[in-house]
Amino acid sequence: MAGGLSRRRLLKAAIPAGALALGALGAARYYISSKRKPNVIVLVADSMRSDHLGRQIDGASITPYLDGLASKSVLFRNTYSGASWTKCAMASLFTGGFTPYHGVARGSGTLSSRCDTIAKMLKRHGYRTMGLVCNIWMAPETRIKGGRTADDYSYGFGQGFDDYHLVTPGEWGGAAESAWAPADVMTGKALKAVDGCREPYFLYVHYMDTHYPWVIMRPDSFTGRYSAPGEKNQWKVIRENREIILSANWAGATDDPPDSHVTEENRKRLVAAVNESVGYVDSEVGRLLEQLRGAGALDNSVVIFASDHGEEYWERGHIGHGQSLYNEVVRVPLVISAPDLGARIVTEPVSSVGIYETIKDLCGLRDDVQPVMAPSLAPYMEGRPPREPQRLYSQLDGNANGATLRKVVGADGREIIVRNQAGSEDRVEVYDLKRDSGERTSLTAAAAEDLMKTTKGITQECMAVAQELSIDRPVTSLAWQLAEEESTSGAKTGASSAQDQKMVDQMRALGYLH
Per-range mean pLDDT, top range of 59-68, 306-315, 319-328, 417-426: 59-68
- When pLDDT is cut at 50, 70 and 90, the band that residue 426 belongs to is confident
Look at residue 230 and tell me whether its pLDDT is greater than 80: no
Q: Give the rounded percent of residues in the chain with a pLDDT score beyond 70.
A: 74
Cis, bond preceding 371 (omega within 30 deg of 0): no
Of the chain, the end-to-end C-alpha distance in Å amounts to 46
CA–centroid distance for 193 within its chain: 22
What does the alpha-carbon distance between residue 73 and residue 387 come to, in Å, rounded to a whole number? 22
Which region among 234-248, 335-349, 409-423, 453-467 has the lowest average model confidence (pLDDT)? 234-248
Quote the radius of gyration of the chain (alpha carbons, Å): 22
Using alpha carbons, select from 259, 292, 280, 102 the residue that is nearest to residue 207.
Answer: 280
Which region among 4-18, 91-105, 367-381, 416-430 has the lowest average model confidence (pLDDT)? 4-18
User: What integer pLDDT is reported at residue 442 of this predicted model?
Assistant: 94
How do 74-80 and 344-346 pair as beta strands? parallel
Segment 275-292 mean pLDDT: 96
Look at residue 345 and tell me whether its pLDDT is greater than 80: yes
Torsion of CA 211, 356, 64, 57, to 10 degrees: -50
User: In order of start, what are the domains of the chain with their CATH numbers?
Assistant: 2-510 (3.40.720.10)
What does the alpha-carbon distance between residue 440 and residue 303 come to, in Å, rounded to a whole number? 36
> The whole model's pTM is what?
0.85
The answer to whether 182 and 173 are in contact (CB under 8 A) is: no
The residues near 404 (Cβ < 8 Å, ≥ 6 apart) are 105, 395, 396, 397, 398, 419, 420, 421
Which region among 218-227, 299-308, 328-337 has the lowest average model confidence (pLDDT)? 218-227
What does the alpha-carbon distance between residue 144 and residue 453 come to, in Å, rounded to a whole number? 38
Which segments of 425-475 are extended strands (E)? 427-432
Residue 343's identity, in one-letter code, is A
User: What integer pLDDT is reported at residue 472 of this predicted model?
Assistant: 74
Distance of CA 7 to CAs 3, 24, 99, 371, 474, Å?
A: 12, 21, 21, 11, 22
Look at residue 283 and tell me whether its pLDDT is greater than 90: yes
- When pLDDT is cut at 50, 70 and 90, the band that residue 477 belongs to is very low
The answer to whether 216 and 232 are in contact (CB under 8 A) is: no
pLDDT tens, position by position, 137-189 = 888 754 444 443 333 346 889 999 999 999 887 788 776 556 688 999 999 99
The answer to whether 54 and 63 are in contact (CB under 8 A) is: yes
DSSP class of residue 42 equals E
